[in-house]
A and B are shown apart, each in its own frame.
Chain A
């Protein structure tokens, strides 16, 4: 039987990480890893839609676009040109909690990347022209991902049901009207507050010398002044006392069902147990909900569970695409019954082992590239407050017992605290 050449290493060996704090508050984490002559360079800013206000929702995401439009040293259109000419590529994403930028590149382009990234953190140039152009681009992105996407339409409704007071209520991309309203002054204030070095962290993983890289970063970022303290995010979400429902009427071919419950914050030990519950319920063909809803009853074409770790309590959601003539009521009944069964009787030891094996593989896949490791470090620090957590995922999953799975199912998937969005196809022949 084929065996690995060495005993399986821990998923991620973080002994080599060098962690530094610059006087201006910038956190730097460097991990030399020389399996390939490339580097992945992530910059995490601790800002996302949770830091926004009504009227300018979507500014975190729109601002992410603005970061590619020129700074003092590298002017408009230069960022990607310079990077691509050095054999690198870049992208970014904005979530409810963070905005993250990355470059993946051949190791010898490191100085160029540091120069590009520090230039825009120090001296981004925000012009009205580039704002107007990005505004239109973002509107197209919203049309693509939300207005003409069934899941996008439903998810927007669901978040607005799950949260009454918390900013997770609005979509990361923002409301269309707000995207139109954001001004250049809004962007400038946003930059000064949230893109200061004390609200950022850099993760570089790959073929690098940690001492030389740290000196390089110190020189490039050390003189960027710290910014103001970031305002706390409102946490006054009132308790939910009963099911909340919404329907979306849309000219679709088939119905769909999206349900959500407010879960714990990512830092809670229950987060890992909810990942295990997710795997038991809907990861793989032999998961409970796939077997029941898709294979046995043929009510659904697909069923998935999303448990997204967030800084503040996030959403545990279930999404089912139904067969065109399937009954939504019946699908709901079966889904609720399956969830109640887990909450009452838990999962078997074999189901637990299966879920843990699948989660282990998924962690190994994530950590197979420099990019994956750099992202995992940043994500762990942004959501859990410590990059070391990136190396502990397997430990946390292995510690989850069947009793924990039952407990979190009972605690979080309470029928009186669920939110349900139903897609009702209209105009079907």
Chain B
């Protein structure tokens, strides 16, 4: 029914300084993809310094002992490559996509950026100002505001509550010293790993990695593990944006970490409820009522925990109606579980789609990095279809009942409070906050 899935043969090596290197040769377009991952990410941001991991990763690209930021930009781009830096709640990462023949020169730069950045004060300050200015533009995007608000509401005091891009006040207060200290403390080869995938020869990539990264040393000592987040405290939050004509809606409840045994049942259950074009939420909200252009549900899984999340939007007048429909459908699903045909269709859909997520070098590189970061085995990929097929209606219903938003849930709506706060009060006491407080 669905094509066989396999990863290319993988070579692994641990370098002298502790960095793990993972290389996979693949046929296909003459490109290569590399990803250097430093576990921790935004969850390592100190208090009142949200956005620091993000700032550090981007600032690392702005100058090394051998090259200025401008020289790095020019070299990488002249080779037809891209070198990006990013941060999520569990990791900082540097992503490289390059023509295969340019990989060696690009990897030199990647190695310098990660191991020997100089953080020129002028560049750090400029980046910081740019990040703050970018947050102003984010504030004009209702969907971005809603995503921030639901993390904050669902995770409470836990570090996962903070957006990796940080808050204006914290970024404004951040200094070059904060950035350099973050790098010195958290960029450590013993925790980090490098994945390279593409039309390259594994042996040559390994030799290259040895030459460039063997001598890298980082701070010693254990990293404190991140505690599991507590379950969300029920809340109804209206983020006031007085002038929009459409409300962005998020509903969240407790989920599970990426390594949970509930992962595969969760994928199936959330897909039946709100994945694809034939899900229950899509049918109830879009097809039967024309309330929205889109609705989806998913488990957002991270290292220390996760949430279940429903996302949609509708005109201001129907904000409460769409929440009600979503909650009713969720309750009905928890009550009945999936039908036989529905479950079979969803499993086929998930299994059919999966190989399409592993077509390019970039996609395979990201998948290998994901497996490594969360300590998962490669047979999660080859055994994907088997595990999805093993999810029975009973297991599906059980996972839905355990996690879907029945009682303990957070409802977030971004829109004009004067129009939506009152109708939403039927879901619990409403707290209204101005949108700018989310930044």
Q: Which residues of A contact B (CB under 8 A)?
A: 1-5, 8-9, 35-38, 68, 77, 80-81, 84-90, 104-109, 132-141, 143-144, 147-150, 250-254, 283-287, 291, 294-295, 298, 301-302, 321, 323-324, 350, 353-354, 357-358, 360-361, 364-365, 367-371
B345 at the interface (CB under 8 A from A): yes
Q: Which residues of A lie under 8 Å from residue B31 when comparing CB positions?
A: 361, 364-365, 368
CA distance A178 to B245 in the complex (A): 19
A88 near B352 (CB under 8 angstroms)?
yes
What are 22 inter-chain pairs, A to B, with CB distance below 8 A?
A1-B103, A4-B199, A5-B27, A38-B359, A77-B287, A84-B349, A86-B348, A137-B286, A138-B293, A141-B293, A148-B142, A148-B245, A250-B243, A253-B136, A284-B77, A291-B70, A301-B130, A301-B136, A321-B137, A358-B80, A365-B31, A365-B360
A85 near B349 (CB under 8 angstroms)?
yes
CA distance A150 to B199 in the complex (A): 41
CA distance A287 to B73 in the complex (A): 9
Describe A's contact surface by its main secondary structure.
mixed
B246 near A136 (CB under 8 angstroms)?
no
Q: Which residues of A lie under 8 Å from residue B104 when comparing CB positions?
A: 1-2
Q: Which residues of A lie under 8 Å from residue B70 when comparing CB positions?
A: 286, 291, 295
Q: Which residues of A lie under 8 Å from residue B30 when comparing CB positions?
A: 4, 8-9, 364
B290 near A350 (CB under 8 angstroms)?
no
Chain B 89-100, CB-CB to A under 8 Å as 1, else 0, gives 000000001111
Q: A251-B243, A365-B360 are in contact. Are A89 and B352 (CB under 8 A)?
A: yes
B191 at the interface (CB under 8 A from A): no
A106 near B2 (CB under 8 angstroms)?
yes
CA distance A254 to B315 in the complex (A): 25
CA distance A87 to B5 in the complex (A): 14
Q: A89-B353, A364-B31 are in contact. Are A2 and B200 (CB under 8 A)?
A: yes
Chain B 8-44, CB-CB to A under 8 Å as 1, else 0, gives 0000000000000000010111111000000000000
B352 near A105 (CB under 8 angstroms)?
yes
Chain B 141-152, CB-CB to A under 8 Å as 1, else 0, gives 110000000000
Q: Which residues of A lie under 8 Å from residue B242 when comparing CB positions?
A: 251
Given contacts A140-B291, A148-B142, A284-B82, 10 further A-B contacts (CB under 8 A): A85-B341, A85-B344, A136-B290, A140-B293, A143-B245, A252-B140, A253-B140, A353-B78, A357-B80, A365-B97
Q: Which residues of A lie under 8 Å from residue B1 when comparing CB positions?
A: 86-87, 106, 108
Q: A36-B359, A350-B78, A368-B28 are in contact. Are A134 and B349 (CB under 8 A)?
A: no
A2 near B201 (CB under 8 angstroms)?
yes
A254 near B204 (CB under 8 angstroms)?
no
B351 at the interface (CB under 8 A from A): yes
B74 at the interface (CB under 8 A from A): yes
CA distance A39 to B250 in the complex (A): 35
B4 near A368 (CB under 8 angstroms)?
no
Whose C-beta in chain B lies nearest to the C-beta of A82?
B345
Q: Which residues of A lie under 8 Å from residue B293 when comparing CB positions?
A: 137-138, 140-141, 144
B283 at the interface (CB under 8 A from A): yes
CA distance A361 to B30 in the complex (A): 9
Q: A4-B199, A81-B345, A87-B351 are in contact. Are A253 and B139 (CB under 8 A)?
A: yes
B181 at the interface (CB under 8 A from A): no
The residue among B30, B129, B315 with the most chain A CB atoms within 10 A of its own CB is B30
Q: Which of A38, A84, A132, A354 contacts B355 (CB 8 A)?
A: A38
Chain B 180-222, CB-CB to A under 8 Å as 1, else 0, gives 0000000000000000000111001100100000000000000
Give A349 Cβ to nearest chain B Cβ, in Å.
Answer: 11
B244 at the interface (CB under 8 A from A): yes
Whose C-beta in chain A lies nearest to the C-beta of B199?
A4
The 9 A-B residue pairs with the shortest CB-CB distance, nearest first, are A87-B352, A136-B290, A357-B80, A37-B3, A253-B136, A285-B73, A286-B73, A84-B349, A85-B345
Whose C-beta in chain A lies nearest to the C-beta of B314?
A140
A150 near B140 (CB under 8 angstroms)?
yes
